[in-house]
Amino acid sequence: MDANNRDRWFLDPGPLSPWIDKFAADLAVQRYTPLTIEGYTASARHFATWLGSAGIPIDAIDDNVVRRFAEHRCRCPGGRQWQNISSNYWRRAKRFCTFLQRAGVARAPVKVASPHPLLDDYQSWLRVHRGLSERTITRHRRDLHRLLPALGTATHDYDAPLVRKVVREWRERTGPANMRTIASALRSYLRFLAGAGLCRPNLDHAIPTVVQWRLSSLPRYLSAGDVDRVIASCDQLTTGRLRSRAILLLLWRLALRAGDVAGLRLSDLDWSSGMLHLRGKARREVRLPLPQDVGDALIAYIEQERPRVDQAAVFVTMVAPYQPFSQSSPVSTTVALALKRADISDPPSRGASLLRHSAATSMLRSGATLEAVGTMLRHRSLDMTAHYAKVDIPMLEQIAQPWPGELQC
């Protein structure tokens, strides 16, 4: 008799038995495998048995009870006596507890009040009035959670010396790139407070400028041959091969950002016109032509590999419950793993932007104008695109000015 059958025989979940069956049915709807469902229900059965032996009523179940279950020295009936509860085992029990809370059987988790309640209104302001993406809003909130303990909650007492002091302290603790994002978040928060009459106006001007030498570095890119090796490396995969290939081609052929790929929806693909609809930064909407090889890769992924789930997102996870990408990191991870498979030694970077930069550089070296490259990259200003001109030596020779010492008098 294996462990699961032995536990099923000895463990008595009592009044929670029908809820364990409903829990299993819910997991099945989310497309979990039978083996995974059996693991979850075994943990739920053990948890329910322990509740009965500990004399804990169902309506008293909360996160603290699950924690006690994780820490108990097991003497429950079955094959786990005197064993410690593994982290995976009690996490499954916690998942069962969450299911019971959603069903209204267990006590709902106590919502802890935020120490900075104004951040909720600030988030709404960013979303409605500034039109920022959810990713940027989340980053601003994260940065402000770091700053607000030093600033305090008495916003009417904020003044320029306090703001400068907090910024100086953070400048000593982090790098220039991170400091720029922190300063940007604080500026917008102070503008929000001033607009709502919650602090003195113009305090955002007290934030020192973080020095940034624009266009001081060379763009990081791969040669076209190396990119071909990266894309071809997808053939080594047994799982996720078509998804990885589609993601890499979108980054390389259309120079998309990681967030563009992660947020792509099935409705954004206009197959009749061969166009791709995108919502970029600041909610700017554009339509891009869909190259044949990219379209073929997307069709192959959607028809042959994408799980049959009711999700609007093009790209979803490869394991149940098959959720859309909640952030852009899976796209960058896809690039990093492909670089490793292709044996690209010491790449200039390992994120999704590497293929975007490579696409822009390849276009310039093939004779495209800066205006054409800027259009593909969806740059607002040609100054942003000029960064890539530094890798095109013939173009630099055309615009280079003679050294003053070489001029004839």
| Higher pLDDT among residues 281 and 304, named by residue | 304
Of 152, 141, 155, 153, give the one whose Cα is nearest residue 186.
141
Q: Residue 280 maps to which CATH number?
A: 1.10.443.10
The runs of H, that is alpha helices, within 265-343 are 292-304, 329-341
Percent of the chain with pLDDT over 90: 41
Q: What is the pTM of this model?
A: 0.71
398 lies in some domain: no
| Co-location of 122 and 234 in the same domain | no
| Co-location of 96 and 140 in the same domain | no
Range of the domain at 80: 3-102
pLDDT in tens, 192-207: 999 999 999 999 999 9
For residues 321 and 319, give the distance between their C-alpha atoms in angstroms, rounded to a whole number: 6
Mean pLDDT on 171-176: 84
Residue 143 has pLDDT above 70, yes or no: yes
Measured at the CA of 200, the angle between CA 194 and CA 206, to 5 degrees, comes to 95
Question: Hunting for tokens 């059987």 — which residue is that?
Answer: 105
Residue 231, CA distances (Å) to 117, 145, 263 in order: 47, 40, 21
Contacts of 372 (CB under 8 A, 6+ apart): 363
pLDDT in tens, 64-104: 888 888 888 777 765 555 466 777 888 898 999 999 988 88
pLDDT in tens, 369-408: 778 888 888 877 776 776 665 555 555 565 556 666 655 5
Least confident window among 70-74, 118-122, 310-314:
70-74
For residues 251 and 229, give the distance between their C-alpha atoms in angstroms, rounded to a whole number: 15
Question: Hunting for tokens 């309640």 — which residue is that?
Answer: 117
Domains held by the chain: number: 3
Provide the CA 360 distance to its chain's centre, in angstroms: 24
378 lies in some domain: no
Mean pLDDT on 96-123: 84
For residues 92 and 32, give the distance between their C-alpha atoms in angstroms, rounded to a whole number: 13
pLDDT at 107: 80
pLDDT in tens, 217-244: 566 788 889 999 999 999 998 889 999 9
> Of 206, 238, 262, which residue sits at a domain end?
206
Q: Residue 154 maps to which CATH number?
A: 1.10.150
pLDDT at 220: 76
pLDDT at 6: 47
Residue 7 has pLDDT above 60, yes or no: no
pLDDT at 377: 81
264: its two tokens:
């792509």
Cis-peptide into 176, omega within 30 deg: no
Mean pLDDT on 52-65: 85
Q: What is the mean pLDDT of the chain?
A: 84
Main-chain phi, psi angles of 286, to 5 degrees: -135, 160
130 lies in some domain: yes
| Co-location of 346 and 262 in the same domain | yes
Residue 251, CA distances (Å) to 231, 240, 247, 336 in order: 11, 17, 6, 13
Least confident window among 21-25, 111-115, 145-149, 289-293:
111-115
| Co-location of 348 and 242 in the same domain | yes
377 lies in some domain: no
Mean pLDDT on 12-37: 89
Of 94, 120, 261, give the one whose Cα is nearest residue 192.
120
pLDDT band at 213 (very low <50, low <70, confident <90, very high): low
| Co-location of 276 and 183 in the same domain | no
pLDDT at 53: 84
Of 331, 377, 372, 375, give the one whose Cα is nearest residue 352.
331
| Co-location of 35 and 89 in the same domain | yes
403 lies in some domain: no
pLDDT at 228: 94
Mean pLDDT on 265-279: 92
| Co-location of 180 and 270 in the same domain | no
Mean pLDDT on 22-29: 91
| Co-location of 254 and 353 in the same domain | yes
| Co-location of 202 and 232 in the same domain | no
Mean pLDDT on 154-169: 93
| Co-location of 349 and 308 in the same domain | yes
* Residue 178 half-sphere exposure toward CB, CA atoms < 13 A: 10
> Of 157, 175, 206, which residue sits at a domain end?
206
For residues 292 and 332, give the distance between their C-alpha atoms in angstroms, rounded to a whole number: 23
CB atoms within 10 A of CB 224: 14
For residues 242 and 232, give the distance between their C-alpha atoms in angstroms, rounded to a whole number: 11
Amino acid identity, position 340: K
Of 14, 32, 77, 323, give the one whose Cα is nearest residue 23.
32
| Co-location of 234 and 324 in the same domain | yes
Question: Hunting for tokens 């390849």 — which residue is that?
Answer: 362
As a whole number of Å, the CA-based R_g of the chain is 28
Residue 212 has pLDDT above 70, yes or no: no
pLDDT in tens, 322-353: 889 888 889 999 999 999 999 988 887 888 98
Residue 3 has pLDDT above 70, yes or no: no
Residue 295 has pLDDT above 80, yes or no: yes
| Co-location of 169 and 261 in the same domain | no
pLDDT at 283: 63
pLDDT at 2: 45
